[in-house]
Amino acid sequence: MDECVPVIRLSSGKEIAVTKELVALLNRYARSEYSLEKLAEDLGLEDWGEAYEFVKKTPAWLMWIQPTYFEKVVLKRLCSAST
């Protein structure tokens, strides 16, 4: 069975996997002084413009949900709905 990993696709064609670790990073971004430049660096994006596009395409609730809740509840629901 293949592992279910949702992604956020950017216009450049890059895909960013939505994982527990990404949710934790988004929590830090939303709750602290975390610049788009730093977010771009941490995600391996070209520049702050790509990071801005990523933030715009990311559902807002994903930035505020607890990473463990995402992994144990939300991810399971997303994956079971896609099968």
Name the token pair of 8.
């956020």
Q: pLDDT per residue over 47-65, tens digit each?
A: 999 999 999 999 999 999 9
- pLDDT-based confidence at 72, cuts 50/70/90? very high
pLDDT in tens, 19-47: 999 999 999 999 999 999 999 999 999 99
Q: CA 39, CA 44: separation in Å to the nearest integer?
A: 8
pLDDT value at residue 2: 53
| Nearest C-alpha neighbor of 71 from the set 20, 10, 8 | 20
Residues whose CB is less than 8 angstroms from the CB of residue 65 and which lie 6 or more positions away in sequence, other chains included: 23, 74
pLDDT for the residue numbered 78: 84
Residue 83 pLDDT: 61
- What are the two backbone dihedrals, phi and then psi, of residue 24, each rounded to the nearest 5 degrees? -65, -40
